Chain A
Amino acid sequence: MGRRLAKSQLLEFYRQMHLIREFERECERQYTRGNIKGFLHVYSGEEAIAVGAISTLQPQDYVVTHYRDHGHALARGVNSKAIMAELFGKATGCSKGKGGSMHLFDAEKNFMGGYAIVGGQLPVAAGLALASKYRGEDRIALCFMGDGALNEGEFHEAMNLAAIWKLPVIYFCENNLYGMGASAANNLVMYQEIYKMAAAYGIEGIQVDGNDVLAVRELMEQVTHRVRHGQGPLFVEARTYRLRGHSIADPANYRPTEEVAYWQARDPIPRFREWLLAEGLASQEEVDEIHAAVEREVVAAAEFAEKSPFPEPGDLYRWVYQEDGK
C-alpha cells in the first residue's frame, strides 16, 4: 500500500502524526503551567486514524468530531497556532476563545466542530450530509466518535436515519477500548465486535487497525470513494489505544501494565517511522528535519498563544445571536 503513495505524501503523514503527538505534549506542559484550563483530552496514540482518514477527504468535505479533537483539527490543517491560542482562551483562537479544547471549529477548513456531549455530533453529521444530498453536491461528511458513543441513543437514531435516507456520511468509531476509566471489555458492552453492530442498521461495517496509518488510509480511500458515489453511509471501527489517561486529570491507573506495554509496542508513530526507514522511503536526516520543523511549529504555537490577547470583556455578548450586518 505505502509504496503506491508518493514519498512526499508519506513524509507528510509522518509529519502530521508527529506534530499531533508533540502538540499534545506541549498541551500537557502548558496545562501544568496553568495556561490551559478546564478539561484537556489528548489524542496521543490515536494519531494514525485522524491522519490516515482525513487525508482521503476533499477540501469541501465536512469533518465532525468529538471532544478529543486536537488531532482531527491538526490533520485537517487547522492552524496549530490558532488551536493552541484557543486552548489558552485567547481571542486569536480558532473559536475566538469561546470554545476551548473540546469545541474547536474552523469554517475555512469545513471543520464543523468538536462536540462534547458524547454522541451529539452524530445527528449533526447526518444533517450536513443531508444538506449535500439535498443540493446535489459532491460533499461528504466524516464523523468521528469514540467507542463510548455507541451506548448513546443518538448513535442508534443517527445510524438509522443515515441509512434510511442513504446519506453520504462516514461514521468512524475510534475504539480505544475505554469509556473514560471503564474498560469496554469488562464493564460497558456485551458485544465487542463493534463494526458488526452497523449491520443491524443495514450499514456495512468495516474494521481496521487504527495504529497503522497506511491501513487506515487504504481503507478510507475505498470508503470515501464509495460514500461519495452514492453508496450511502458506511461505518468504520478502528482499534486503537490512548497512551494517556482519559483527560489530563486521569493517571489511568486502572489499566494493566501488560496492556499498556502491548499497545506502546504498537505506537503508530515509531511503527511508521521504522517502516519508512526500513523501506528506504525516508532517510534519518529527513526524519530529523521533520522533527526539527515540528518542534519549531509547536514552540511557535505556544509563543503565539502566550502573546495573544484574551478576548475583551465586551466580547462576552458577541455571537450569542446573529449580529447586525453579518
Chain B
Amino acid sequence: MAVISYREAVARGLREALQEDPRVFLVGEDIGPYGGSFAVTKGFWEEFGEERIKDSPLSESAIVGAGVGAAMAGLRPMVELMTINFSLLAMDQIVNHAAKIRYMSGGQFSVPLMVRTVTGGGASVGATHSQSFEGWYAAVPGLYVVVPSTPRDALGLFRSCRDLGDPVLYVEHILLYGSRGEVPDTPYKIPIGQAEVKRLGRDVTIISYSRMVQVSLAAAELLASEGIQPEVVDLRTLRPLDMETVVQSVKKTHHAVVVEEAPKQGGFGAEVAAQIQHQAFEYLNAPVERVAGEEVPIPYSMPLERLAIPDADRVARAVRKMLAQ
C-alpha cells in the first residue's frame, strides 16, 4: 500500500489508460505543456505526445462533441472540462447527444466517452466557479456519474469507468486534489454503482459523496467523542445509485442524515431521502434530515463562503438534534 494524493490517483488512472489502450486520447484546455489547470496531466504531453494529449481552444461544447464523435467511431476519448461550472457550455453535447445516441440509434452506436471535470466550492473563487452540478447530471438516463472521495476510490473507479461502453461524467473535487490516502499496489477496481460504508457505526447513518464524505467523517469523529457512533456511507456513484447499501445501514441505525454541497432545493440528497423513506420508512425513528448548501450563490469572501457550504460542525449539529428528539 502506497500513500498517494487524489491528484496522483487520477493521474495514475489516466496514465494507465494511455499506456494500455491506444484508443485512449485526452482533450482539454491547457492539458498539454501547461499540465492541466489542476496539474493532473503534468508531464503527459512530454510523455505521450501532442496527438494523444490534445490541447484545445476554449470550446467546451466542441471538445465534448468531438469526444462524442470520436467515441462513436470506436475510440476512447477522455475530455477534461476545467470545472463543472464550464460544463454548462457543453451541456447540449453531454445531455442531448452523448447520453442519448445509443438509445436513439436503437443500440447501433455507443459513446464510450469519459468527461472529467472538477466540482465544488471552498476555494474562494466566487459564485461562477464554486458550484456542484453533478446532481443535475445524475438526473440523465444514459450517463454515469462518478464522484470519488478518496485516492483509493478515485483510481479504482477510474479503472472501472474504462470498461463502460457509455458516457461517464467523472467528477473530481477541487479541494480533494491534495488529500492523501492509501492505495493498493494491485490492479484493483471498484465496481460502478456500489456505495461503501466508510465508517462503521450504530446510531445514525450519514450519507454523502465526494468531499462531503470527508466532512461527514470529521463530523463522525466529533460525535464519537460524545458517545455517538455514526455510520458513514459514501455513494461513490450518483448514477447508478446504490440504495441497497444505504437502506441496509439505515435499517440498522434507524436514523439518516443526507449531506451534500449543492443547495438543498432540488439537490441530489432529496432523491436519496425520498428513497430512504420509501424503502425503510418503518425503520426510521425520525424524519430523514438533510444538510446541504445554503440557497445562495457561493460568495467570494471566505467567512461567508464557509457559511454557505456544510462543514463538520453543521453535520454534527444535525445529528445531535435528530438524536435528541
Quick one: which of A101-147 are within 8 Å of B by CB? Answer: 103, 105-107, 112-113, 115, 117, 120, 122-132, 134-135, 141
B110 and A322 contacting across the interface, CB-CB below 8 Å: yes
Quick one: which of B82-114 are within 8 Å of A by CB? Answer: 92-93, 96-97, 101-110
In the assembled complex, the CB of A306 is this many whole angstroms from the nearest CB of chain B, namely 19
A326 and B57 contacting across the interface, CB-CB below 8 Å: no
Quick one: which of B22-74 are within 8 Å of A by CB? Answer: 25, 51, 54, 56-57, 59, 61-74
Beyond A154-B65, A157-B65, 19 additional contacts (C-beta under 8 Å) are A94-B106, A103-B104, A112-B109, A123-B65, A123-B68, A124-B69, A126-B62, A128-B73, A129-B69, A130-B70, A131-B70, A154-B62, A157-B59, A161-B57, A319-B106, A320-B102, A322-B164, A323-B107, A326-B107
Chain B residue nearest to A164 (CB atoms) is B57
B96 and A157 contacting across the interface, CB-CB below 8 Å: no
A321 to B141, CA, bound (A): 9
B142 and A123 contacting across the interface, CB-CB below 8 Å: no
B106 and A93 contacting across the interface, CB-CB below 8 Å: yes
For A130, the chain B residues whose CB sits under 8 A away are 66, 69-70
Q: Which of B54, B75, B108, B165 contacts A131 (CB 8 A)?
A: B75
A106 to B104, CA, bound (A): 11
Known: A154-B61, A157-B59. A134 touches B51 (CB 8 A): yes
B104 and A99 contacting across the interface, CB-CB below 8 Å: yes
Question: Quick one: CB contact mask for A289-326 with B, threshold 8 Å, 1 for yes?
Answer: 00000000000000000000000000000111111001
Q: Indicate the size class of the contact surface on chain B.
A: 35 or more
A160 and B141 contacting across the interface, CB-CB below 8 Å: no
B109 and A107 contacting across the interface, CB-CB below 8 Å: yes
For B25, the chain A residues whose CB sits under 8 A away are 134
For B69, the chain A residues whose CB sits under 8 A away are 64, 112, 123-131, 141
For B110, the chain A residues whose CB sits under 8 A away are 322
Asked if A223 is at the interface of the complex by the 8 Å CB criterion, the answer is: no
A115 and B97 contacting across the interface, CB-CB below 8 Å: yes
A95 and B66 contacting across the interface, CB-CB below 8 Å: no
For A96, the chain B residues whose CB sits under 8 A away are 106-107
Most chain A CB within 10 A, of B65, B67, B93, is at B65
Q: Which of A124, A131, A154 contacts B74 (CB 8 A)?
A: A131
Chain A residue nearest to B99 (CB atoms) is A320
A127 and B67 contacting across the interface, CB-CB below 8 Å: yes
Q: Indicate the size class of the contact surface on chain A.
A: 35 or more
Asked if A236 is at the interface of the complex by the 8 Å CB criterion, the answer is: no
Known: A321-B166, A326-B107. A127 touches B59 (CB 8 A): no
A127 and B71 contacting across the interface, CB-CB below 8 Å: yes
Quick one: which of A233-286 are within 8 Å of B by CB? Answer: none
A88 to B114, CA, bound (A): 34
Question: Quick one: CB contact mask for B163-181 with A, threshold 8 Å, 1 for yes?
Answer: 0111000000000000000
B92 and A154 contacting across the interface, CB-CB below 8 Å: yes
Known: A154-B65, A161-B62, A321-B166. A124 touches B97 (CB 8 A): yes
For B108, the chain A residues whose CB sits under 8 A away are 95, 105-107
B142 and A112 contacting across the interface, CB-CB below 8 Å: no
A201 to B233, CA, bound (A): 51
Chain B residue nearest to A115 (CB atoms) is B97
Q: Which of B72, B164, B165 contacts A127 (CB 8 A)?
A: B72
In the assembled complex, the CB of A65 is this many whole angstroms from the nearest CB of chain B, namely 13
A113 and B75 contacting across the interface, CB-CB below 8 Å: no
In the assembled complex, the CB of A43 is this many whole angstroms from the nearest CB of chain B, namely 20
Known: A99-B106, A319-B102, A326-B107. A122 touches B65 (CB 8 A): yes
A3 to B43, CA, bound (A): 58
B75 and A134 contacting across the interface, CB-CB below 8 Å: yes
In the assembled complex, the CB of B99 is this many whole angstroms from the nearest CB of chain A, namely 9
Chain A residue nearest to B69 (CB atoms) is A127
A109 to B93, CA, bound (A): 23
Known: A117-B96, A123-B68. A95 touches B106 (CB 8 A): yes
Asked if B77 is at the interface of the complex by the 8 Å CB criterion, the answer is: yes
Question: Quick one: CB contact mask for A1-25 with B, threshold 8 Å, 1 for yes?
Answer: 0000000000000000000000000
